[in-house]
Each structure stands twice: as C-alpha cells, then as structure tokens.
Amino acid sequence: MGEKDQEVEAASTGGQASGVVAEPASAARELEPLASVCIPVYNHGRYIAQCLRSLAAQKCDFPWEVIVGEDCSPDDSRQVLEGLEPELPPNFKIIYREHNLGAVGNGEDLWRRARGKYLVSCEGDDYWLYDRKLQTQVDFLEAHPDYTASFTQSVVVDQDSKPNGERYPSCPEPEYSYREFFYSCMPGQTSSYVCRREEFFRALADFKALKEYDFYMGDRRNAFLWLTLGRVQCIQEPWCAYRHVVSQGSSYSANVKFDEKYARNEVGFGKSLVKYALEYGDQEAIETAKRTYYRFWLKWGGRLPSPYTRRECLRAIMRERRWPSYLLAPLQWYWVLGFRVLRGRPVDL
C-alpha cells in the first residue's frame, strides 16, 4: 500500500527540497500541462512498472505530465525505473532522490513541482484500469466549475495484482456528502482522484494553520476540505486498482497502532475539523465537524488523561446548543455502520 493514507501536507509554493535533483532549464519552455499526476515511489520495485505503463496507456487530447519521485528505496525500485525510463513518453519525469525525504517530504516536493490546473494522484503500487480515466474526469471538471474533485471506484488487489475479495469503502452515490464523511466513507481511493490544484492547496494551507495534531490519515482530511470547497463527483465505475497488502511493508494499514498517541491525534484531528469549519465552512460543515469531534472524544475519553477525559467531553457537549445530536453521535455512527454491514456494504472503522 506504500505511503497511501499517510498525511502529505503540501504547500503550493516553496523552494526545492533538500537532496532533490534540479529540473532542466528547458522545463520552462515546455507546454503547460492541464493535469499533473504525482507518483511517490518507495519500495515499489515489484509494482512500479505496472503503474507507469497503465498511465502511459492513457488517451488524452490535452497536455499533461507525470512526476515520479523515487525516494531512495532499499529495494530495486530505482533499477526498475532506470530500465523502464527509455520506453516512457516524454511527459514522464522521474526524480531520483539523493537522500531519503520520507513519505511527507517526497509527496510535498512532487506537489510543489506540479504545474497543472488539475492535481492527480497515483501511488507507485496502484494502477489504472481505464485508458480514458484522466480524460473523462478532467472533461467533467472543465464542464462543471461547481465541482472541486472527481473520484472513481476501485478494484482492491493483492500483491499479485489479483482481486482479493475486499471492497474499498467508497461512496456508492454519484456525489459525495457530509453525511458520508461522518460515517467514515471516503469519496474514493486516493489513486482515483482528480482535483483543482490551486483551490486545494489554499484550503490545505488554511487547515494546516489551524491543526492541533501531529499525524492523521490525510485522505480523511482531504475529503472534508473538498466538501468545503464545492461538490465532489463519485464515478461508479472501477477505473483504478488499489493494492492492499497489510502483512508487510511500510503502509499505514500494516503499521498503525491504536494506542494513546493515536487517540490524541484522532481527537486533535476532530478539533481541527471544527476550527476549520467555523472559519471556512457552512452550517452543514460545522455540524458534521462537531459530531465527528465529539464522537472521537467520547470514543477515546476513557483512556486519555485530562483535558481529554469523557467527563470533560460531556461538559463541553452540554454547553452546545445542539447537545443531544452530539451526545448521540457515537450511537448513530455505530448503528448506521452496523446496518450497512448487514446489507453487505463495506465500511471503514
């Protein structure tokens, strides 16, 4: 699963990251791309060729770029990329790091280099299944300025690129909503999205200025930001493959520990949602953020010291005008997810 679901907090401006190969002077003379696809690579030697070939097969009638960041992988990722590079189209640019930047640093640098109106993501161990994926999503966003992002459904595959029987908990509706966000449903998997780059980067910078946690899943933060920026399309076709390997590797799923540190970060993430919604969101955003925050706080308050105890959470809830909604938020969350499981719908806890 690579670095997927890890927090990548990129700025839309900024200088070169340390240990990064400089861009050639001719880059400024290239035709400006409409879309930029960023691919972080770390320990993806077994999968990166499949990923890049699936992108090279895309049929687009507009200029676009692919920026690959190989982050000093201890496996053979660099050697595979060096062997693959001669067969790739000229709009593919591979950056071989001189020093490991880590998941966040690698992603930030790739995002800084992106020049397209639209930002696109694909992890180095995922791949696309439809050769008109990028064209179709960009066409939609060009024609619908009130939409800020577009996602597709995904096929979940194992280390051998075979469907593993899982279903990614993507939104089953044509449009994402705050309701789906509250019930831990994402608009789609990270490698399926196309979004408006500048708007997203501005929102991300605003959120970073308010955040009160160290680390949390970036896809959940981004989903909330896109909802505050506009509408979010959810294409109900599986146009990408998401590789989910939890038994090994450096992925979030393989390494997450639900300990006190995680609990503090999750409560802090909820508090950050509230602060951002109060500053930049509408009433629905505020209510969703508060219900999420109080659900997290009640969930973890029994194992956290002051000022995060359940008693202090209850005191805070009772000061709210809509306190019954916040007090019942955990029960509603478990009830709805339980009902969805009984109906055979995938959920994310």
Q: Is the pLDDT of residue 8 over 50?
A: no
* Predicted local distance difference test score (pLDDT) of residue 171: 97
- Residue 143 CB neighbours (<10 A): 8
Q: Is the pLDDT of residue 329 over 70?
A: yes
Per-residue pLDDT tens digits for 57-99: 999 999 999 999 999 999 999 999 999 999 999 999 999 999 9
| Mean per-residue pLDDT over the chain, rounded | 90
Please state which of the ranges 24-33, 214-223, 269-278, 287-296 shows the lowest mean pLDDT: 24-33
- In the structure, what pLDDT confidence band is assigned to residue 245 with cuts at 50, 70 and 90? confident
* Predicted local distance difference test score (pLDDT) of residue 1: 40
Span 316-320, average pLDDT? 97
In angstroms, the CA 54 to CA 128 distance is 5
Express as a percent the part of the chain with pLDDT over 90: 84
In angstroms, the CA 278 to CA 20 distance is 38
Contact 109, 72 (CB under 8 A): no
- In the structure, what pLDDT confidence band is assigned to residue 307 with cuts at 50, 70 and 90? confident
Respond yes or no on whether the N-terminal peptide bond of residue 33 is cis (omega within 30° of 0). no
Question: Within 13 Å of residue 286, how many CA atoms lie on the same side as its CB?
Answer: 9
State both tokens at 225: 């930001």
* Predicted local distance difference test score (pLDDT) of residue 257: 75
Q: What angle do CA 58, 230, 110 make, to 5 degrees?
A: 45
- Residue 254 CB neighbours (<10 A): 13
- Residue 349 CB neighbours (<10 A): 7
State both tokens at 317: 């809830």
State both tokens at 280: 């930049």
In angstroms, the CA 262 to CA 162 distance is 32
Per-residue pLDDT tens digits for 194-241: 999 999 999 999 999 999 999 999 999 999 999 999 999 999 999 999
Span 141-166, average pLDDT? 97
Span 27-41, average pLDDT? 83
Span 120-143, average pLDDT? 98
* Predicted local distance difference test score (pLDDT) of residue 306: 85
In angstroms, the CA 102 to CA 199 distance is 25
- Enumerate domains of the chain plus CATH numbers: 25-255 (3.90.550.10), 262-341 (no CATH)
Express as a percent the part of the chain with pLDDT over 70: 88
Please state which of the ranges 111-115, 224-228, 233-237, 305-309 shows the lowest mean pLDDT: 305-309
